[in-house]
C-alpha cells in the first residue's frame, strides 16, 4: 500500500476509501492502553529542538513523508514529477473544512514532536525520533488546515481539542494509541482529559 501511495503519477489519485490517518484502535482497546500509560510530569522542555526529529524523509522516489500524506489524505490529487501536489482537495477533519490548495494544508503530528520530547522522547535515539516523526503506520500523521494546526501547536488534549466535536473520539483514540506504542508518558491533566473524552465515546 505504501509503495502505491508514494508512486509519482501525473494522473489523479483518488483514495477516498483510505484517506486520512490509519484507523485508531477501538474504544475498548484505547481504554486498556490508557490504563497502562505512565502518569508523570513533563520534563526537558527547555532542551527541545525540532531538528532532533528528522522529518519528511524520502519514502519512495521523489516523494517524502509530507507529500505521501498529502496524496493519501487528499482527493483527486495530481502531482508533478517532483511529487509536489499541483491540484486536488483536502477535507480537514479537525474543523470540517475543505481546502483546494496544498499550500493551505499542513501535516500534523497528532502527538506533537515537542510533546513527545517532554514525554520521554528526549531519551530516544535519533533513529527512533525519526521513525516517530515519519510514522505512516500508526495514526500519527494527518493533513489538516494549516491555521488549525498552528492553533494546536504542541498542545495536548487537556489544552486543545479539534474544533469539530464529532472528531473527539477518533482524536483521543489515536493520541492514546501513539503514546502507548511509543511508551510515552502522560501528565495528570492530559490523562484526565483523555479519560473524560474517551469514556464519553
Residue 154 to residue 10: CA distance in whole angstroms: 35
Strand 105-109 and strand 97-99: the pairing is unpaired
Residue 175 to residue 172: CA distance in whole angstroms: 5
- Give residue 21's pLDDT: 86
DSSP annotation string for 44-66 = -GGG--GGGS--S-EEETTEEHH
Count helices and strands in the chain by DSSP H and E runs = 8, 7
Per-residue tens of pLDDT for the chain, all 201 residues:
333 333 333 333 333 334 578 999 999 999 999 999 999 999 999 999 999 999 999 999 999 999 999 999 999 999 999 999 999 999 999 999 999 999 999 999 999 999 999 999 999 999 999 999 999 999 999 999 999 999 999 999 999 999 999 999 999 999 999 999 999 999 999 999 999 999 999
- Collapsing DSSP to helix, strand or coil, 89 comes out as strand
- Give residue 43's pLDDT: 97
Number of Cβ atoms within 10 Å of the Cβ of 20: 20
Model pTM score: 0.90
Amino acid at each position: 500500500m505504501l509503495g502505491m501511495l508514494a508512486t509519482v503519477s501525473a494522473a489523479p489519485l483518488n483514495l477516498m476509501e483510505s484517506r486520512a490517518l490509519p484507523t485508531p484502535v477501538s474504544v475498548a482497546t484505547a481504554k486498556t492502553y490508557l490504563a497502562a500509560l505512565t502518569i508523570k510530569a513533563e520534563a526537558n522542555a527547555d532542551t527541545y529542538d525540532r531538528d532532533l526529529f528528522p522529518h519528511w524523509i524520502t519514502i519512495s522516489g521523489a516523494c517524502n513523508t509530507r507529500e505521501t500524506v498529502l496524496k493519501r489524505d487528499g482527493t483527486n490529487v495530481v502531482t508533478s514529477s517532483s511529487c509536489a501536489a499541483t491540484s486536488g482537495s483536502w477535507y480537514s477533519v479537525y474543523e470540517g473544512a475543505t481546502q483546494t490548495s496544498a499550500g493551505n494544508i499542513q501535516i500534523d503530528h497528532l502527538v506533537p514532536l515537542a510533546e513527545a520530547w517532554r514525554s520521554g522522547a528526549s531519551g530516544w535515539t535519533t533513529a527512533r525520533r525519526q521513525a516517530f516523526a515519519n510514522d505512516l503506520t500508526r495514526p500519527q500523521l494527518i493533513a489538516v488546515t494549516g491555521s488549525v494546526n498552528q492553533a494546536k501547536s504542541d498542545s495536548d488534549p487537556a489544552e486543545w481539542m479539534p474544533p469539530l466535536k464529532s472528531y473527539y473520539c477518533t482524536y483521543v483514540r489515536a493520541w492514546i494509541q501513539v503514546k502507548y506504542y511509543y511508551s510515552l508518558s502522560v501528565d495528570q491533566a492530559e490523562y484526565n482529559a483523555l479519560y473524560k473524552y474517551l469514556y464519553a465515546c
